[in-house]
Amino acid sequence: MKSNFSKTEKRALNLLFLPFGIGAMATATRFPEIRDNLGISNGLFGTYLTLGGIGALLAFIFVGNLVHKFGIKPIISLASSGLFLSMAVVPHFRSSFYWLILNILIGFFWASFLIANNGQAIHRQQEVGELILPKLHGLWSLGALITSIFAIIITPFVTLAWHIGILMLAMWLLTMYGIQKSTPYFIDKSDEDDAVPNITLSGLVVAFKSQPLVATAMILAMQIEFSTQDWSAIYVKDSIGMSAATSIYGYTFFIAAMIILRLNMNRALRIFSEHQLLNYLPKIGGAGFIICISGATYFSETNQKLGFTLALVGFAFAGFGSSIIVPTLYGIAFRRSSLPSSVVVAQLGFVTSIIAFFTKIGISWVVEISSVTVGLMIPGLMLVATAKFANLGQESKVK
């Protein structure tokens, strides 16, 4: 028997995803300033940023099982507090080494927050029989859009330290309120010691073998979002020649396009099947992104406004094409597994993080050796390749 997904619970769950998006993506909007504060090259900046994924890998190994043993509330409370506190410290660092250590902490707390949030959402989605996760990912993206628009408005007037510090405090308070309101609905700890296998490195490799197609598709789909977070502002500032405040628009257009489909996922599935969406969206989004970004770099040498416009259209194509792929793949993975939702999220997160780790470092040094434009072609091609895994989706439409 399916349980009821009340408006009260829905509002409470929303308060866990929206502040996460606002807080987690705040520093991405001002990466050019952070890079300049540290005094390092694009290649080193991208590499050090990627090495923060070490913390995420540790979280994906341990946190899924901790959620199973202790329940959602203590994990999500510690993860959110650690994330917002660590990010508030970022503007005060001038040493690249200490910034690297901080990035590892941020990666750990960020992944822990992600596992707890998505584990709760997937668990309830299965119980209520309603498509919940894409809308919640849409709210996360809405948070990222809000934080980028906020950055556009205040960057010319407010220092990086005040911007990030005050915002992190506000998002922590909002998240604590969301946790309090969500407590009655959280997954409780399990008393079944043998319900979940121990999450070890070898165990997660085995997990990849159990769902290799889902994991591979997710790896290909996620890279465009990672690269846009890391490089869109630097691309617009360095390659197009726009100001630091204007450079934020690239990520803003990416997230805005992503939100449109994520918040209308139920409507889209009444018109198209999962299979059709997974087939056509990556092709359209990836090809549009590659064409527009290449054109933007070329035309910006003689017509900066045209180049900037093409860049924004390209980032919008990328957001549209990647919008629903990851939440859809999470749902597919959970349907194909008998494990608890938090463990499924952790397993997929570990595998995708390992591959993304090396891919992001590779892109960083492609950027250093050639240009940001060439580096961005890699995730564009990976997004197009995601369409090869469209057969994972259901053929039937939602009635």
Give the pLDDT confidence score for residue 284 in this predicted structure.
96
Percent of the chain with pLDDT over 70: 92
Give the pLDDT confidence score for residue 194 in this predicted structure.
42
Contact between residue 26 and residue 91 where contact means Cβ atoms under 8 Å apart: no
The tokens describing 158, both together, are 């407010």
The tokens describing 11, both together, are 């509002």
CA distance 376 to 371: 9
The domain limits of the chain are 7-186+198-392
Give the pLDDT confidence score for residue 302 in this predicted structure.
92
**Whole-structure pTM value:** 0.72
Q: Which of 142, 144, 146 is nearest to 110 (CA)?
A: 144
Distance spanning both ends of the chain, measured CA to CA: 20
Residue 91 is classified by DSSP as G
Say which residue the tokens 């970022």 belong to: 90
Give the pLDDT confidence score for residue 191 in this predicted structure.
44
Contact between residue 75 and residue 274 where contact means Cβ atoms under 8 Å apart: no
Contact between residue 345 and residue 317 where contact means Cβ atoms under 8 Å apart: no
Give the pLDDT confidence score for residue 3 in this predicted structure.
61
For 122-156, how does the pLDDT look when each residue is reduced to its tens digit (9 = 90+)? Answer: 777 777 777 777 778 778 888 888 988 898 888 88
pLDDT mean across residues, the chain: 85
Give the pLDDT confidence score for residue 1 in this predicted structure.
43
Say which residue the tokens 């005040």 belong to: 162
CA distance 248 to 35: 15
Taking 50 as the pLDDT cut, the residues of the chain under it are: 1, 191-198
CATH topology of domain 7-186+198-392: Growth Hormone; Chain: A; (1.20.1250)
CA distance 142 to 145: 5
CA dihedral 68, 123, 53, 41 (to 10 degrees): -160
206: CB partners within 8 A, 6+ apart: none
Contact between residue 125 and residue 331 where contact means Cβ atoms under 8 Å apart: yes
